[in-house]
Structure 1
Amino acid sequence: MNKGSRFTARASRVAISVSLAWLSLGQAWAQDAAIDAATQDDQTAEEIIVTGSRIARSDQSQLSSPTQVLGQEEIADSGMVGVDDLLQLNTANIGSTGGSQDLAGGGADDRATRSANLRGLGVQSTLVLLNGRRVAHTDSYTNLVALTPTIAVERVETVLDGASALYGSDAIAGVMNIITNDHFSGIRLSAQYTDIAEAPGYIVQGMIGGGNDRFHVVLSASYEYQDKLQGYERNRTNFDNTSGLSQPGNYILTSRPTAAGGGDVIIDNGVNGPINYSQLYDQLTAASGSATVQFADPWCTVPGTGGIYAGANPFPAGSCRFSYQQRNPIKPRTRVTLVHLDGHYDLNDDHSLYFEGRYYQQGTERFGIASFPITTGSLTVPSDNPGNPFGVDTIFQGRLLGNQSPDRIERAELDSIHLVGGVRGPITSGWDYDVMVAYSREKSLLHSSDTDLIAAQNALNGFGGPDCQVNPYGVPAASEVAGQGNCYYFSPFGDDQQSNPSQTDYNILTPFFRSNEAELRYAEAVVTGELLQLPGGTMGIALGGQIREESEKIGLDSGIVNARFGFQGKSLPGEGSRTVKSVFGELYLPILPTLDIQLAGRYESYGEFDTFDPKFGINFRPFPWLALRGSYSTAFRAPDLGEAVSDTVNSAVGQTVDPLDPTDTGTFRVIRTVSNPNLKPEQSKNFNLGMTVEPIDRLQFSVDYFDFAFDDRITLESAQQVINADPNGPRIVRDQFGRLLSVDIGYFNAGATKTNGLDFRASYRFDLGANRITLDNMATVITTYEVQLGPNQPVIDALGGRNANNPGAPAPKFRDNARIAWSNGAHSANIAMRYTDGVRDDLSGGTIDSWTVFDAQYAFSFGPRRNFQLAIGAVNLFDAEPPHAAFTGYLPSLHDVLGRQAYIRVTADF
């Protein structure tokens, strides 16, 4: 890793007091979920809605499902600038995707985005809410980067249990609920600079709140900048990963090379000596019995071209390759603006209007290789092209721009709005209502460029340039002459990389766009009340209904629709929508002062299918120092619009191997994905059993056993499995030379997934004079992780594996977060450890080692009311590199390659 920035040079801020964050997490586990009474006495006296229940309670300790709460102070002390960063503090979250280059696939990497993935059960299986409400998303998951400014977050509640009985689809593995501070008064300002080698960043945030006896508004905003990071700037991603579709490239000849005077073609590249290509062609065709011969670019081995020769001797009877890995992006350059508004207006002493608004805008620049490889077709270099040394037509294989060309920049724009309005109040004594409507929209637009095959062929034929008159089908006007006037030749050969006419740039890279717009509209009404007195208290009930409309629309450039591009492949725009109706109910039964029971159920109809999911939970406190809890529920996930409803055909690129080509070790090819209207929803059965023990004051231990069993998992077919099953089948596209170009795949209900394990929490806080010491630990042990490869396919043990070749997520057996914290008056400090177990690497047959990272922070509060704070710290204090993983260099779903992230933060309250 490049270590150009020193920890002491630009001491960084916002204390990564992951420690304090973990204390909150540890103490907030299930019945430990009560927020620190020392600072929250006024809130615990009120009844509030806690994630995992629709019934307000003043005692959060009576939950039957394992629930973690991360508070506002702990978030600020963690030093992590975004809600997405907080995933690092949750050992139950594994396999998150998005935001980083991942050549093995796994989420958008052209913009700042990150998913939650509880239990590794899939990014679509964790429901993410903002203040208890759904938001629209354009990926297959809710983007945590886009939810709300971190300064506005009061707490994050995570339910680690199936919650479809309360929240419907997508809550199959649990719920992550981001709750904002809607009662803040005053002004709070914060600025943090984070020093990351070669990729520094900063964030400025502000929040203002106030009102009167009937009206209160809280407005928060943030602006974040993060510089780009490229593969060559980190050791783990700075390695050779060669491609056979390169520049310099390779050439397929079907006739004997012939010099201008009719003699043999002899080329001396200054490295390999003079080579008679005509005689070599004769030798190779005689040996193979075929008139088709592939030559590496004659200038492949010349220094400065970037070519790497591989294959048979003598040169050039093999292939020219080059390594694109070093110039691949790790993260794009990103600018993010977030604005959030909370408010309420009391109509009278009982009834209140409330509203919420969110605006999000992001702009990114992704720097990469100058041009994409040509995988969807072929280009012919005619014999009369001045750069063609063979004297006969030849097929070019590779990419048209060399490694010395400027980076190709992809630009992504994202924006979203989220609006909520409602009214709540009492119906009669003990009964309340809450009626709300919401509108949420998420839109993304990608601007990139690719090789238009028709335009590029024009330039190879001598009709390149923006002013050369050629019709859209590649036919030049009768007045035009190849290579004359406004028409120019382009040569793809290695010795012409830097000497082609600039006018042909018009033909080599053509702009295109992709857009995605998702909308969510819904209305919900909930009635809560008290039914009767039980020995343990008053029975509570919640009844409600919801109707929501989901829609998604994909827009595509005409060049993609008409299959003109060499890398993008043919895609089709489309749209889809559906209306979902549901009713739900919950009962809270305090059977005894020490025994509570929760009953809940939800019916949800999608038109083509419906589902009912119940939940039963129990919380038993036989002794003041012991609490027992358990729950059983079923849950489901409906197919996404793109999986089952939309008529979009999406083309992407992935690495595949052609079983008919013994020399193919892996090449990027077009993979076309189509929806499946016959998909059924995923179903699961969830079981949880846990306990909390507090043997002495301020010492707590918690353990929870979890068990998830999935059926009908929605899975995307493996492109490689489709190819292997029928290499010449109707879903395979090959060119005239038999080269594999593309494969069609689809979604299906695969089979079963099962996982179980244990979550542990321990926390101890004590005082030594004026010093307060806190020790806490959080750990997750997975004991079973089994996935089924497909319908009627075997079930495999995926525990402890990378799982690149099966539907599972990376599944380390053990993860642990530990920390020690100290405070004394205006001073506080902490150090924390994050450990992730190693996994088997099924791409290499080896092992991806375990990873241990330490974080630290010191903070000093000052001012007349200690209303100013200066914090310095570092995430990954000792600059630990992520362990090596085959092909990708590291695993972005488990580790990060940023290295030490030193920071300094200043916060002020007025």
Structure 2
Amino acid sequence: MLNQNQTRKTAISIAVATAIMSSAVMHPVMAQEQEPKEQSVEVVRVTGSYVTRDTQSTMSSPIQIVGNEEIMKSGFSGVDDLIVNNTANTGSVGGVNNLAGGGAEGRQTRSANLRGLGPSSTLVLLNGHRVASQEQDAKRNSYTNLAALVPTIAVNRIETVLDGASAIYGSDAIAGVMNVITDDNYEGVTAIWQHIAIENAPSNLLQFKIGGGSGNFHGMFASSYEYKANLQNGDRAITASNNTSGTAQPGNYALTSRPVAADGGDVIIDNGVNGPINYSQLYDQISASTGNSRVVFADPHCTVEGTGGIYVGSNPFPHGTCQFSYQQMNPIMPQSKTWLNYATASYTLDNSHELFFEGRYYKQEGRRFGVASMPISLGSPVVPAENPYNPFGVDVQFTGRVLGVNADYREETSNVDGTHLLLGIKGDIGSTDWQYEVSGVWSQERAVNSAPDTDLQMLQNALNGYGGADCLIDPFGQPSASEVPGQGNCVYFSPFGADQLNHDERVYYNLLQPSVGSDEVTYQIVEFVVNGSWFDLPGGTVGVAVGGQTRKEIRKVGVDGATQAGRWGFFGKRSPGEGDRKIDGIFAELYLPWTLDIDMQLALRYEDYGKFTNTDPKVGVNWRVTDDISLRLSASTAFRAPSLAHSVGNQTSSGVSQTVDPLDPNDNGTFRVVNTISNPNLAPEESTNVNIGASWAATDELTMSLDYWSFDFENQVTAESAAQVIQADPNGPNLIRDADGRLLAVNVGYFNAGKTKTNGVDFRVDYRTEIFDGHYISINNSLTWINEYTVQVGKDQPVYDVVGRRNDNNPGSVAPEFRDTMQVSWQHMKHNANLTMRYVDSVEDDVFLPMNYTQPWGTISSSTVFDAQYAYRFGEDDRYQIAVGAINLFDTDPPAAFFTKYLSTAADPLGRQAYMRLSIEM
């Protein structure tokens, strides 16, 4: 029996629809023809439907189709970068980094994020099949990494369905589906080399494909290797400014007793900048005025040039905070090396049956170059009075970071590999016009990440005089009884600014240790589809598709012993774990041509996750009003099951987030640990989607389409915002503070939040004409307008309309009101040239502010970027091509944003990316 929610959803009329933004893509040789050639009708399966139909039929769901030649026109090296041209996409994770985090900062990643409903709400398919991915955003929402899917040269086209598709594909298709379709029928050999000149960060891409066969066999293999150099914040003016954190080097020191000099007198220190300061008398004054024996001083040499310290405080030095700017030393993007390999093969058994195979293997290595050492956000190391470098003569608690280890930078490494194998059979059922397809998929992605962090046990040993490579330490981190502090093989470490460049190098041996973790996701899928015709209606034959799928999803998380023990100064305590879930689904779809002008698509899918079930219907109507005008309507429900990281397994996890402590007036933003734990009781996210559209072929040269879309998104799974938990109760039980009241960490959990509603309009214009003999001009323009984007954080909470906001303070994505992409192309025989304009509207800057703020920090201005390319074909049969161009032709800086300096989900600080591409076809 259906539950109440399922009954409500089943009663909703829904739909599939019409290709509103399909791009006419020509092969370069065909482009020389002055008149298009007649093409026969080809029977195909279009993304968003399992019923086969001819390509001249329209669909009731809006679909964007971008071919390989369009990708080449863009100058982008991969599918991941191409997503920025899609005006329906907003707030992708990855591409470039910023201090707000998001995505894997140690390697090259990019997510889709249609309609700004979250990266996990867009289902990415490879030839209609799911691929395993362990990638997650900062809130552990899973996403498929478009930068590591298949070689770009292997892509035939990308079909993107711009409304809910769970009735066809199941979970994750709330905002739509992006289906990357490979060129499996390719014959010949093609090789491409592309060099991209980015200031301080050049990249190179080499790729090739080979295809062919004989008799009953055909195969294709494609491979690519891409190298991208790292780019640091210090390499760009917009990111090279200070952005201070309260955890610094030189650091800050908490004293609980009066400082005393070696001769028993007062401690007086002259740093050469602030003059002689009597710390003993100052301690007495502050302790007496506050009634607290615990007094915090900034490092005595914080203000000395060359130490890196930035003094912040309303009190006279040193009764304030020594801070540090991590901004310049962190990366805009990491160094990455990506190998992508893809193979497909088919073998015809007879005239009716065919075996097919698909294989994908990739490997990606990333190197993140960051600040030399991370702040000690956890733990409270103590510099004992016996440490000869301690100028206070009493035990002091140290808050800061360890300088001097890998003094230029701190290197994190990331190694990811993925394997995707598919084997299937398809063919005709007897002598009927029905076909079947059965396939099995094994898909796995595994990441191993290593990042140095301060070993708190080793640091305390060094502060106590037991530092150095040859100082005997037992496996539990305790010094041998035979060792003497600061003598023989053992040395003292000083965290004080006066000594930061004058240490015995031996002391740095084991202060930083690698924190190693792994994440592995595996999909095991068996599915079948049967489709064919049923009976005739006035408009044609009814098409039918039925099918089913069983899928097992497995996640394994591994962490090293030190991480499990919580020995790191920056990374939080985590535990390993694993879990799995099994999903069974069935679906049915009908194509109903009621008349020659009106057809309908009906679809229904049921999925069983064990802990919950979900039923999603979809109905679409397409009406060809005249030969030139067609109308479409689609409505559906869609859902997304909680991510594996949210709901499956017994592991605990932690991350780091930039937060502000309202109890600390000098805290302008500090990295703190955020601890999260999975919630097995999460309900699925659900949405109701509606699309109403029209297409008009005004002339043979001019076509236009207009679509109104609406998404009503409920039960969003999200982690509690660390910033909101802090603001709600600065002394609450979910906050971890030390004895001095310093905020160390925040505990948050996952929950089903409130609602997100969004609606707006997509408008597309395509125009192509021959301006004079053999010279063709085409103009393509896509515009997306967001009319409404409302967010409700939780049940019974206020609803906020956040169109035109950065949305850093809520579960939503950045929501510029307008996005527009226009391309103007010229074509004449062997010559092609195009100019692309990308516009992103301005947004209010609300970072760190509550959702009900009355005044933003300011406005992040709109961004307009131009790309250009010229390509020329030459040689026998035009087999060679050279292309030159530039992404961000005019070297436009991204609009400035508070704290992060730029908004990575809307623009990037890479600057002009000039490129040259050489290709050969044989």
Task: Give the TM interval when normalised to the shorter protein.
Answer: over 0.9
Q: Counterpart of 1:468?
A: 471
From 363, 366, 370, give the equivalent of 1:364. 366
Moved more, 641-650 or 436-445: 641-650
Which position in structure 2 is the counterpart of 1:50?
46
Give the conservation status (yes or no) of the 8 Å contact 1:455–1:508.
yes
Query: 1:301 pairs with 300, 303, 309, which one?
Result: 303
Q: CA deviation at 1:61?
A: 3.7
Contact 2:246 2:668 (C-alpha < 8 Å) held by counterparts:
no
Q: Where does residue 786 of structure 1 map in the other structure?
A: 790
2:730 is aligned to 727
For residue 110 of structure 1, what is the aligned residue in structure 2? 106
The alpha-carbon deviation at position 287 of structure 1 amounts to: 1.8
The reply to whether residue 267 of structure 1 matches residue 269 of structure 2 is: yes
Q: Match for 2:417 among 415, 418, 422?
A: 415
Following the alignment from structure 2 to structure 1, what is the Cα–Cα distance between the partners of residues 365 and 663? 43
Matched letter for residue 191 of structure 2: L
In structure 2, the CA distance between the partners of 1:840 and 1:529, relative to structure 1 (3 Å rule), is same
Measured against aligned partners, the alpha-carbon deviations of 1:785-823 in whole angstroms (never above 9, x if no partner) come to 001011221110111100001111000000111121111
Cα deviation, residue 479, structure 1: 1.0
1:30 to 2:20 alignment: yes
Question: In structure 2, how many angstroms separate the alpha carbons of the residues matched to 1:381 and 1:465?
Answer: 17
CA distance in 2, matches of 1:30, 1:48: 18
Residue by residue over 1:511-535, the C-alpha shift from the partner in whole angstroms, topping out at 9 and shown as x without a partner, is 1201101000100011011101111
Number of aligned residues = 884
In 2: Cα distance, 1:851 partner to 1:660 partner: 37
SS of 1:63's equivalent? Answer: coil
Distance in 2 between the 1:42 and 1:281 partners?
A: 90
| Superposed CA offset, 1:338-379 (max 9, x none) | 000011001111110000000110111110111111111111
Aligned ranges 1:147-226 → 2 under 5 Å:
147-226=149-228
C-alpha contact (below 8 Å) 1:723/1:732 kept by paired residues:
yes
Instruction: Single out whichever of 598-607 and 531-540 deviates more from structure 2.
Output: 531-540
Answer whether contact 2:41 2:56 (CA < 8 A) is retained. no
Residues 456 and 567 in structure 2, CA contact (< 8 A), matched pair in contact too: yes
Q: 1:811 aligns with which of 809, 815, 828?
A: 815
Mean Cα deviation higher: 498-507 or 339-348? 498-507
2:89 equivalent to 1:87: no
Alpha-carbon spacing, 1:330–1:128, altered in 2? closer, same or farther (3 Å):
same
Q: Is the 8 A contact 1:305 1:402 kept in 2?
A: no
SS at match of 2:553: strand
Tell me the distance in 2 between the aligned counterparts of 1:436 and 1:327: 49
Counterpart pick for 1:76 among 72, 75, 82? 72
8 Å contact from structure 2 (residues 344, 359) kept in 1: yes
Aligned residue number for residue 627 of structure 1: 630
Deviations 1:174-219 (A, max 9, x none): 0000000000001000000000010000100100001013100000
SS state at 2:698 partner: strand
How far does the alpha carbon of each residue in 1:611-667 deviate from its partner, in whole angstroms, 9 at most, with x for none? 100000011112111011110100000001111112221111112233333443332
8 Å Cα contact 1:522/1:548 also seen in 2? yes
1:391–1:246 Cα change, 3 Å: same
Report what 1:22 is aligned to: none
Would the aligned equivalents of 2:20 and 2:706 in 1 still touch at CA under 8 Å? no
Aligned-partner residue type, residue 240 of structure 1: N
SS of residue paired to 1:236: helix
Residue number in structure 1 paired with 2:3 = none
Deviation digits for residues 139-197 of structure 1, max 9, x if unmatched? 21000011100000000000000000000000010000000000000100000000001
Aligned positions of 1:125-524 closer than 5 A:
125-139=121-135, 140-401=142-403, 405-428=407-430, 429-524=432-527
Name the aligned partner's letter for residue 166 of structure 1: I
Taking only aligned residues, the RMSD between alpha carbons, in angstroms, comes to: 1.6
Question: Shift of the alpha carbon at 1:30?
Answer: 3.2
Cα contact 1:225–1:334 (8 A) shared by 2: yes
Matches for 1:567-578 after TM superposition, within 5 Å: 567-578=570-581
**Deviation for aligned residue 1:68:** 0.5
AA partner of residue 196 (structure 2): T
Aligned partner of 1:757 among 760, 766, 774: 760
Does 2:642 correspond to 1:639?
A: yes
Q: Which runs of 5+ in 2 are unaligned?
A: 1-16, 136-141, 848-855
Distance (whole Å) between structure 1 residues aligned to residue 901 and residue 729 of structure 2 = 32
Identity score, percent = 55
**Counterpart selection for 2:611 from 608, 612, 618:** 608
CA distance in structure 2 between the partners assigned to 1:43 and 1:751 by the alignment = 50
The structural deviation recorded for 1:116 is: 0.1
SS, match of residue 594 in structure 2: strand
Q: Does the Cα contact within 8 Å between 1:50 and 1:60 map onto a contact in 2?
A: no
Q: Does 1:654 align with 2:657?
A: yes
After TM superposition, the structure 1 stretch with the greater mean CA deviation from structure 2, 782-791 or 274-283, is 274-283
1:729-777 deviation line (CA, Å, top 9, x unaligned): 3322221222221111111111111000000000111112110111121
CA distance in 2 between counterparts of 1:603 and 1:825 reads 52
**Where does residue 898 of structure 1 map in the other structure?**
910
Distance in 1 (CA, whole Å) between partners of 2:477 and 2:515 is 19
SS of the counterpart of 2:107? coil
How far, CA to CA, are the matches of 1:654 and 1:344 in structure 2? 49
Amino acid of the structure 2 residue aligned with 1:231: N
Q: Give the equivalent residue in structure 2 for 1:839.
A: 843
Any idea what SS the aligned residue of 1:635 has? Answer: strand
Q: Tell me, in whole angstroms, the C-alpha distance in 1 between the residues paired with 2:60 and 2:21.
A: 8
Structure 1 distance, partners of 2:176, 2:89, is: 10
CA contact (8 A) 1:306 1:402 kept: no
TM-score scaled by structure 2? 0.94
- The correspondence of residues 582-601 of structure 1 with structure 2, limited to 5 A, is 582-601=585-604
* Aligned counterparts of 1:749 and 1:42: Cα–Cα separation in 2: 54
CA distance 1:28–1:328, change in 2 (3 Å): farther
Distance 1:146 1:810 in 2: 25
Instruction: In structure 2, give the amino acid aligned to 1:215.
Output: F
Of 520, 534, 542 in structure 2, the residue corresponding to residue 539 of structure 1 is 542
Q: Which residue of 1 aligns with 2:860?
A: 848
1:889 aligned residue: 901
Whether contact under 8 Å (1:305, 1:403) holds in the other structure is: no
> What is aligned with 1:15?
none
CA contact (8 A) 2:574 2:653 kept: yes
Report Cα offsets for 1:525-560 as digits up to 9, x if no partner.
110111011111111100000000001111111111
Is there any run of 5+ residues in structure 1 with no aligned partner, and where? Answer: 1-26
Secondary structure at the aligned position of 1:326 is classed as: coil
Shift of 1:228: 0.4
Task: Identify the residue that residue 820 of structure 1 maps to in structure 2.
Answer: 824
Residue 699, structure 1, aligned to residue 702, structure 2: yes
**What is the CA–CA distance in structure 1 between the aligned matches of 2:359 and 2:67, rounded to whole Å?**
22
Spell out, residue by residue over 1:363-411, the C-alpha distance to the aligned partner (whole angstroms, 9 max, x if none).
1111011111111111100111111111111111100115991201001
User: Whole-Å Cα distance in 2 between the matches of residues 504 and 604 of structure 1?
Assistant: 59
**How many Å apart are 1:573 and its aligned residue?**
1.2
Counterpart residue identity of residue 860, structure 1: Y
Are the counterparts in 2 of residues 599 and 615 from structure 1 also a CA contact under 8 Å?
yes
User: 1:314 Cα deviation (Å)?
Assistant: 2.6
SS in 1 for 2:493: coil
Measured against aligned partners, the alpha-carbon deviations of 1:256-302 in whole angstroms (never above 9, x if no partner) come to: 11111101111121222222111111122122221111111111111
Report the AA paired with residue 79 of structure 1.
Answer: G
